[in-house]
Amino acid sequence: MHHASFTLDPAFSIGAVDPRLFGSFVEHLGRCVYTGVHEPGHPSADEHGLRRDVLELVRELGVTVVRYPGGNFVSGHRWEDGVGPHRRVRLEPAWRSIETNAFGLGEFAAWAREAGVEPMMAVNLGTRGVQEACDLLEYANHPGGTHLSDLRAEHGAAEPYGIRLWCLGNEMDGSWQIGHRPAADYGRLASATARAMRMIDPGLELVVCGSSHHDMPTFGAWEAEVLEAAYDDVDHVSLHAYYREEDEDPASFLASGSAMEAFIEDVVATCDHVRAKLKRPKRINLSFDEWNVWYMRPVEEEARPWEHAPRLLENVYSLTDAVAVGGMLIALLRHADRVKIACQAQLVNVIAPIMTEPGGPAWRQTIFYPFAQAARYGRGEVLRVEPVSPVAETAKYGEAPLLHATAVRDGESGTITVFAVNRALDAPMELTVDVRALNAPGGAPGGLRVLSHEVLADDDRHAENTRENPDRVRPRTLDGAGAATLDGGRLRAVLPPLSWNVIRLGS
């Protein structure tokens, strides 16, 4: 049995959770769009071809914002091809696919309304530039009386889409990106695009491209150079990170949440360095708009035929992956003061929490559950958690604590939710939390009690949810031995080996 502890005090908080921390990502890649969110003729499809079974799962997942249409896809995308009655079929070189553009901006806006999510639109700064971004914005947001806004009305949307959140390109630091350019060039283009877009619609929130991942050779220098050019014109800088288990090394993989925290802290330091250098009062926040577990497998692009909606990146996730994803959600919450937007990539079929079959069912992958629980209960003020925990030596990241945890307090109800991961593969962990301060003035009214202790765990760390067995791995409520108890201002619980835990306290 491992032992770990921490203290909760409402006087010590990180910051308020922005609901957009629980975002996702829909890209024209593989089957994310076609036979994912959109499949005319499916038994569950509505009159617009949107799969209702997927919409129900998206609502259950608790997604708040969705980034669209890419991703690498956006850097060669011509938005005009996907509006109006006459759609153009194009080669899509980023993912070597045929793009029919049957699903475009109007369909996405309609889907976002049905799903109850805020749209986050990306503009093409790979093969296009300032004018095309402004044209797209005018089409999407201007009320009427101009060629492009009237064209939108002609296409069936009299009311503007009102998209407030925009990404200025995607991964422009990457040599794989269509239209890749150096930091200085991209910074100038992003600044010019941002200023022009705000001339049309001053109330936008804009995200500038940061590094594609922490290990990029230009990481840090890229952010600094881009922000020096565009600091006054943008609100957020993007981060992207994907993690996977390599060489049968679960200890390193399960420490991915700690690596994610280090990445966030490095980007915050760079943003604040530029702020100090430029002597600006404004702070740039972070948009972690691509993150997930991704088992990247080499693809011989030249040998693969050009197809419409091929099966690409359809990872099947295990319990181990789900626990790692739980750690990543904890990492985001622990930095809620600066991470204001985050998008798990992607939503359906492509490295996704939701899987579908054409003409068939939709089901929840293992990673669905930590996200859904965090999105449901992770609202309010993040309390500072500094665990005392045993550590494990990892090959990739050095020492990593076996307990990864955070806590969120709902200011209205006083309910406290503890999110905790036991990274140990071989032993349970006895967790003790000092909650005496939560019963003091300003704490939960009427004293605390344990409302529930839910756990995601399994005897087989490789257990998966599949079409044939979609409920193999799912959360269960702990009761009896090991379940959370509260006595004398001390919360005690036993966290099973390799587990994601959600413990809720209230009056």
Helix locations, 178-291, DSSP H: 183-200, 221-230, 250-254, 256-278
In tens, the pLDDT along 108-144 reads 999 999 999 999 999 999 999 999 999 999 999 999 9
Q: Active-site residue numbers?
A: 171, 290
Banded model confidence at residue 303, pLDDT cuts 50, 70, 90: confident
Copy the structure tokens of residue 498.
């390799």
In tens, the pLDDT along 410-458 reads 988 999 999 999 999 999 999 999 999 997 544 444 579 999 999 999 9
Banded model confidence at residue 480, pLDDT cuts 50, 70, 90: confident
15 is a domain residue:
no
Tell me the mean pLDDT in the region 75-102. Answer: 97
Banded model confidence at residue 301, pLDDT cuts 50, 70, 90: low
Report the SS3 class of residue 389.
coil
Tell me the mean pLDDT in the region 294-322. Answer: 88
Same domain, 283 and 426: no
Banded model confidence at residue 481, pLDDT cuts 50, 70, 90: confident
166 is a domain residue:
yes
273-297: burial string, b at 16+ Cβ within 10 Å, e else = ebbeeeeeeeebbbbbbbbbbbeee
The conformation of residue 45, written as its DSSP 8-state character, comes to B
Q: Which residues pair with 440 in a beta bridge?
A: none
Domain boundary among 377, 404, 427: 377
Same domain, 6 and 120: no
Same domain, 203 and 337: yes
The number of folded domains in the chain is 2
Same domain, 329 and 421: no
Percent of the chain having pLDDT more than 70? 98
90-110: burial string, b at 16+ Cβ within 10 Å, e else = bebebbbbebbbebbbbbbbb
Same domain, 185 and 331: yes
In tens, the pLDDT along 7-54 reads 999 999 999 999 999 999 999 999 999 999 999 999 999 999 999 999
In tens, the pLDDT along 377-409 reads 999 999 999 999 999 999 999 999 999 999 999
Q: Do 353 and 23 touch, CB atoms closer than 8 A?
A: no
Banded model confidence at residue 300, pLDDT cuts 50, 70, 90: low
- Residue 444's pLDDT is 44
Give yes or no for residue 239 having a pLDDT over 60. Answer: yes
138 is a domain residue:
yes
User: Lowest mean pLDDT: which of 192-206, 207-221, 286-300, 442-456?
Assistant: 442-456
Instruction: Give the domain range for residue 227.
Output: 21-377
CA distance 219 to 184: 14
CATH number for the domain that contains residue 146: 3.20.20.80
Same domain, 390 and 359: no
Q: Do 463 and 390 touch, CB atoms closer than 8 A?
A: no
CA angle 75, 78, 82 (to 5 degrees): 125
- Residue 439's pLDDT is 77
Domain boundary among 377, 407, 426: 377
Tell me the mean pLDDT in the region 365-384. Answer: 98
Same domain, 129 and 179: yes
Which of 247, 175, 240, 249 has the alpha carbon at shortest distance from 211?
240
Same domain, 327 and 414: no
Tell me the mean pLDDT in the region 228-244. Answer: 98
In terms of residues, how long is the chain? 507
Same domain, 257 and 270: yes
16 is a domain residue:
no
Banded model confidence at residue 482, pLDDT cuts 50, 70, 90: confident
Rounded mean pLDDT of the chain?
96
- Residue 445's pLDDT is 43
**pTM score, whole prediction:** 0.97
Largest Cα span, the chain:
69
Tell me the mean pLDDT in the region 303-327. Answer: 96
Percent of the chain having pLDDT more than 90? 94
Same domain, 341 and 485: no
- Residue 504's pLDDT is 98
Same domain, 347 and 484: no
Same domain, 366 and 449: no
